[in-house]
Structure 1
Amino acid sequence: MAYPNRNRPSTHHEISAPFPRTAAPRTRPRTALFAGALATALTAALVHAPQAAAAPEPVNQPPCENAPEAPPKHQMRAEWIAGVQNIDWPTSQGQTPERQQADLTDLYDEAVDNGLNAVFVQIRPTADAFWPSPYEPWSEWLTGEQGGDPGYDPLEFAVEEAHARNLEFHAWYNPYRVAMHDDVNALVEDHPARQNPDWVFEYGGKLYYDPGVPEAREFVIEAMMHSVENYDLDGVHFDDYFYPYPVSGEVIPDADTYAEHGSGFDDIGDWRRDNVDLMVRGMSEAVNDVKPYVKFGISPFGIWRNSGTDPNGSDTNGSQSYDNQFADSRKWVLEGWLDYINPQIYWEIGLPVADYSVLVPWWEEVAEGTGTHLYVGQAAYKVGNAGAWQDPNELSSHLDLNRDHPGVQGDVYFSATSLRTNARQAMEIVVEDHYSSPALVPVKEDLGGTVPAPPRVTANGEGALEIAPGPGEAPAYYAVYAFDGQPARGQAPCGIEDPRAMLGTVRAGDDGTATFTVPRSADTTYYVTAVHRLHHESRASKPEYLP
């Protein structure tokens, strides 16, 4: 069956995105830790809200209710930053470290300007590494030479700069793709794929690790986990590439692997799906064992199966990831192996073969009651294409529809370059319609975490708030709210539940302190909350009034 109007770069996920089979779903109680660089992240103008003030220790405070038109306060707003073939970053091979770093910080600054709160950065595009890995060579997409030292640690830099802007950092990996060519001898001599050619097959002019080889599965998990263990990641992210997308006239050359490892499976498709399941589950368990506060998510192709094939499928008629990539994404959600599912629903509203307005409620129903967050992958790269995508309002219309489906907790845009080029106007509309107020990243309750103590806040007389942590564990960052007029006595500030009162967030420094420059306004009361790295928010600070 034909792909439903995918019209996307052949390299995404670029698009994108051991192991007992009966282990319990992933649950992860714990507390967490965090420190980051000091930075200021103003993202909105002062918004008036009902006058209120915080009691130091509110007791039995009635729950706050937002105005019906209030936007969500917790919402994932992210973009993919693709490294393969230099789609987004690095923008070209062989740049100086200074140029590479400047290009990335430019993308991050644009993300903040667009109201985003997370970045999904590709750090292992083709069985290579954007960090000094003991398992795999330096990525050719950094220097133009596989194994070439870029002169700094790109992953360390990328994480620190994201956190300085209070952007969550999700490390994006392509698990099985080895090379964008089919010559294993063109890999560096000590490449694991070259040293273990029985782990590799060629298909469609590219090289892949064979998911059916147990040693290859275990190796890719170990290679990816090195970055989880050694860097301050917020998330681990896979795209939609497991077994490769079908190529006309070609058959995946894994018959010998099936003969050797496929006992117990009468159907090679079932065996392939089990291989992918083992890797997904194994990575989930590995992350949980090492850093249970790090979220694990996958952005599969937007159609699991069509209802004409499977009664549990969606009312669509497109390519099916269950059958073509052997990716049983619905099962991963139902089994609780993921913290979030981020399907690439890369089609317009009303497309007969794959209607956005059909797929969103289908995925919402899949995720309902599972504890798995649902974020929607948005095709910013398609803006300007013929048909519905010629209308720059199409992306904003997707978010309008999402607001009617509370199970959708955010959106991720492919990709960063599109948001500054073909989709620039469309994103300006999204910002105006949906992102004019900041949002905190959604809280995933089963990951544990603590609610910080309210911070201590003083105005420094120079148009800034000096923020210090309260007792106990220092927070990851602070959220700042502004209200017109003097504080009312004896009331908790219900207005802070409405994100339209939020000026922005600022990362806590190593000592837990921060400085936030406020707009020059008279007769304004400010409140600050402390926020855990998993986005649990404290009660408000005592009010700070600036006449």
Structure 2
Amino acid sequence: MTGAAGTVAGVVGAASVAGDAAARPGRARAALPGPAGERDVVRRELRGMWLATVANTDWPSRAGLSAAAQRDELAARLDEAVNRRLNAVFLQVRPSADALWPSPYEPWAACLTGTQGKDPGWDPLGTAVREAHDRGLELHAWFNPYRVANHTDPARLAASHPARRNPGWVVPYGGRLYYNPGLPEVRSFVQDAMLDAVRRYDVDAVHWDDYFYPYPVAGQDFADDAAYAEYGADFSDRAAWRRDNTDRLVRETADRLTALKPGVRFGISPFGVWRNAATDPAGSPTRAGVQTYDDLYADTRGWIRNGWIDYVVPQLYWHIGNPAADYAALVPWWSETVRGTGVDLFIGEALYKCGDPAQPEAWQDPAELSRHLDFAARYDQVRGHVYFSAKSVAADRIGAMDRLVADHYRSRARPPGGVR
């Protein structure tokens, strides 16, 4: 999640805008009636935190802890969410094409025992769902569709790993391994793997972050020539084909989720800039070095307009006044993007930047995030906020979370619920 904010500058050549046709019926609920600023009588807003497991970012604190110690740490993270008057936890359950549940498709996650494929002796996802619900928290199951490993050596994967059994599915890029989104069999497999968790557990939502095609790395090409030659003939260029591959994953997952468990929501947390206005008049008044449409082949605006998702959590990981991507410019843009679509808008907040000496001066002020919520409250389409990440919620390096809770979360709130 955090790597997106500092991605190298540079824009792939501009491509034509897709998705400007009238939105077709999809998963999204009907838009809530009422004038701007009107809130539910019973306050409903999402207050969430991401709980990252890749590389033991938030939990478990280290690989190889006993099952009891892992359970205790998980309970402490959930208790912290309750203490901060949050109401949702976004738990990363498929960090690197491996699983935090006994999956028939993929090996046990390495973050649990230190050895990918080794049974940890308990069911982390099943326990997390139960413990979260017991505390009145929603549990959003956070999946990464295509990332296989944060290295490029397939021999380091578990012997049973699908990426080892199907080496043609895998592309090394930027020091990592990825599944190739251009292969239909890959898209089908990752959907099967993710939806297995939905079938087994009472999760409240399926959640994806900003990683689809990888962030661009200078001087490197994503090696999908063979897939493009086989499947890309009907497209104007490779970029359009890649966007269609991502669209297919989103649309097919939405359709399958509806058929499997229609009450489970589907949400995505993309990088915060769809396109700059200089690239596309429909874009945001920003000068970001990355645009999801052009660089990640993710038409986030199109997914909203087509009603394929129930909520969107753009990662607006910039301070108010940032010259390239101003928080105060992006909140209105996203608010207008979701208006009338029925897609809920939650804002992804960079709590991890607060007090980081490497960040600009604005992030040294404990009131910066509280000002974000003050600003976002002007826009009736904003239905909540999600904080990256759980470790920062607990550590609260300069008291930014304390300040935010005191200013904005004096009482508890219920999350917006339901689909369609």
| Higher strand proportion | 1
CA deviation string 1:82-106 (max 9, x = no partner): 0000000111100000110100110
Equivalent residue letter for 1:307: A
The question of 1:228 aligning with 2:198 is answered yes
Trace 1:260-339 onto structure 2 (pairs within 5 A): 260-318=230-288, 319-339=290-310
Q: Which residue of 1 aligns with 2:311?
A: 340
Q: Which residue of 2 aligns with 1:389?
A: 363
For the 8 Å contact 1:7–1:382, the answer to whether it is kept is no
Q: Which residue of 2 aligns with 1:418?
A: 392
Q: Which residue of 1 aligns with 2:185?
A: 215
The question of 1:398 aligning with 2:397 is answered no
The question of 1:240 aligning with 2:239 is answered no
CA root-mean-square deviation? 2.2
Q: CA deviation at 1:263?
A: 1.6
TM-score, L = length of structure 1 = 0.70
Equivalent residue letter for 2:378: D
**Alpha-carbon spacing, 1:343–1:28, altered in 2? closer, same or farther (3 Å):** closer
Q: Secondary structure at the match of 1:26?
A: coil
Equivalent residue letter for 2:145: P
Equivalent residue letter for 1:6: A
Q: CA deviation at 1:443?
A: 3.5
The runs of at least 4 consecutive aligned structure 1 residues that moved more than 6 Å come to 67-72
Equivalent residue letter for 1:373: D
**Partner Cα separation in structure 1 for residue 342 and residue 38 of structure 2:** 25
CA deviation string 1:151-176 (max 9, x = no partner): 00111111100001010000000000
**Alpha-carbon spacing, 1:428–1:85, altered in 2? closer, same or farther (3 Å):** same
Q: Secondary structure at the match of 2:332?
A: helix
Q: Which residue of 2 aligns with 1:195?
A: 165
Q: Which residue of 1 aligns with 2:141?
A: 171
Q: Secondary structure at the match of 1:6?
A: helix
Q: Which residue of 1 aligns with 2:10?
A: none
CA deviation string 1:509-546 (max 9, x = no partner): xxxxxxxxxxxxxxxxxxxxxxxxxxxxxxxxxxxxxx
CA deviation string 1:445-467 (max 9, x = no partner): x54xxxxxxxxxxxxxxxxxxxx
**Partner Cα separation in structure 2 for residue 133 and residue 403 of structure 1:** 41
| Higher helix proportion | 2
Equivalent residue letter for 2:87: N
Equivalent residue letter for 1:124: R
Identity of aligned residues (%): 52
Q: From the CA coordinates, give the structure whose radius of gyration is larger.
A: 1
Q: Which residue of 1 aligns with 2:154?
A: 184
**Partner Cα separation in structure 2 for residue 346 and residue 114 of structure 1:** 21
Equivalent residue letter for 2:294: D
Q: CA deviation at 1:308?
A: 0.0
CA deviation string 1:352-391 (max 9, x = no partner): 1000000000000000000000000000011013310000
For the 8 Å contact 2:108–2:119, the answer to whether it is kept is yes
Q: Secondary structure at the match of 2:246?
A: helix
Q: CA deviation at 1:422?
A: 4.3
**Alpha-carbon spacing, 1:149–1:311, altered in 2? closer, same or farther (3 Å):** same
- Please, which of 52, 66, 77 is the counterpart of residue 82 of structure 1? 52
For the 8 Å contact 1:120–1:172, the answer to whether it is kept is yes
**Alpha-carbon spacing, 1:240–1:358, altered in 2? closer, same or farther (3 Å):** same
**Partner Cα separation in structure 2 for residue 314 and residue 84 of structure 1:** 31
CA deviation string 1:423-470 (max 9, x = no partner): 4610111111000011111144x54xxxxxxxxxxxxxxxxxxxxxxx
Equivalent residue letter for 1:268: R
Worse-superposed segment, 380-389 or 154-163: 380-389
**Partner Cα separation in structure 1 for residue 125 and residue 149 of structure 2:** 21
TM-score, L = length of structure 2 = 0.90
**Partner Cα separation in structure 1 for residue 316 and residue 41 of structure 2:** 22
The question of 1:407 aligning with 2:378 is answered no
Q: Secondary structure at the match of 1:276?
A: helix
The question of 1:355 aligning with 2:326 is answered yes
- Please, which of 199, 204, 220 is the counterpart of residue 250 of structure 1? 220
For the 8 Å contact 2:213–2:297, the answer to whether it is kept is yes
Gaps of 5+ in 1: 9-21, 30-66, 448-547
- Please, which of 85, 89, 95 is the counterpart of residue 125 of structure 1? 95
Q: CA deviation at 1:323?
A: 1.0
For the 8 Å contact 1:4–1:354, the answer to whether it is kept is no
**Partner Cα separation in structure 1 for residue 39 and residue 214 of structure 2:** 44
**Alpha-carbon spacing, 1:101–1:24, altered in 2? closer, same or farther (3 Å):** same
- Please, which of 53, 56, 74 is the counterpart of residue 104 of structure 1? 74
Q: Secondary structure at the match of 2:177?
A: strand
Equivalent residue letter for 1:415: S
Q: CA deviation at 1:7?
A: 4.6
**Partner Cα separation in structure 1 for residue 370 and residue 42 of structure 2:** 15
Q: CA deviation at 1:70?
A: 10
**Partner Cα separation in structure 1 for residue 4 and residue 396 of structure 2:** 18
Q: Which residue of 1 aligns with 2:113?
A: 143
Equivalent residue letter for 2:354: V
Q: Secondary structure at the match of 1:156?
A: helix
Q: Secondary structure at the match of 2:49?
A: strand
The question of 1:438 aligning with 2:409 is answered no
**Partner Cα separation in structure 1 for residue 38 and residue 299 of structure 2:** 37
Q: Which residue of 2 aligns with 1:26?
A: 26
For the 8 Å contact 1:131–1:156, the answer to whether it is kept is yes
For the 8 Å contact 1:76–1:440, the answer to whether it is kept is yes
Gaps of 5+ in 2: 8-21, 30-36
